[in-house]
Amino acid sequence: MKKTIDEHAARFSAAAASYDDEQDSREYLACADLVVEHAAPGPEDVVVDLGTGTGAIALALAPAADRVLGRDISEGMLAEARAKAADAGIDNVAFGEGRFREPDVGPHRDSVDVVTTNFAMHHLSDAEKREAIAVIAELNPRRFVLGDVMFFGTPDPSEPFYNPEVDDPATVGALVDALTDEGFVLTAVERVHDQVGVLVAERFGDASERVSVTEESDATAADAE
């Protein structure tokens, strides 16, 4: 991470009031639509939206889900999200402080079905992304939908979708490796732009049967002993 969590939080809080109006690029909007489409929660599902910002994804998913938890590091962004929920009369969404590596989902820790994030994980270094994906896997969702700045090839410096001073996007390959190492299977890859995409990762079987590659290797080694 090129900035501290507190620095990122302050930066986004300062931009919170105008954030929605400024996120109007075709690629950003397409990415958000795809995250919502692929998340596809059911009426009994608990959804966790990490890096929720002003709640765009969380609020879009709320009508289809049982409960949605929006987590962000910026209190300014969370205040905007709560105001939007109140204005829309949406009462099955709870917004609160949380991080990729510390999502703080409270009593819902063992009942998360779907995890989403859009245009947020690129603030983490590749090593931190791996840690974040491991934490998400520990929540044991059946589906994780990741929309973000990501590199499908060598990025064109004349068309940047990120600020190299504060952002640290990963290649698609690095993200896929991190996801599959945690037992996820890629079921969809949406290329919105050379630098923007959506990855849909799922873990199959009953919740108690879902394990990461590391856990499976440990179990195999133990059996061999």
The tens digit of pLDDT for each residue in 62-87 reads 999 999 999 999 999 999 999 999 99
pLDDT digits 0-9 by tens, 139-176: 999 999 999 999 998 887 777 777 777 789 999 999 99
If DSSP states are collapsed to H, E and C, what string results for 36-67?
A: HHHHCCCCCCEEEEECCCCCHHHHHHHHHCCE
Q: What CATH number should be reported for the domain holding residue 65?
A: 3.40.50.150
What are the tens digits of pLDDT across the range 98-125? 999 999 999 998 999 999 999 999 999 9
pLDDT tier for residue 211 given thresholds of 50, 70 and 90: low
pLDDT at 220: 47
Q: Find the domain containing 206 and state its range.
A: 5-224
Count of the separate structural domains present in the chain: 1
Mean pLDDT of 3-14: 76
Angle of helix 213-224 relative to helix 172-181, nearest 10 degrees, comes to: 40
Q: For strand 196-202 and strand 185-193, is the pairing parallel, antiparallel, or unpaired? A: antiparallel
Confidence label for 50 from pLDDT (cuts 50, 70 and 90)? very high
Task: Give the CA diameter of the chain.
Answer: 60
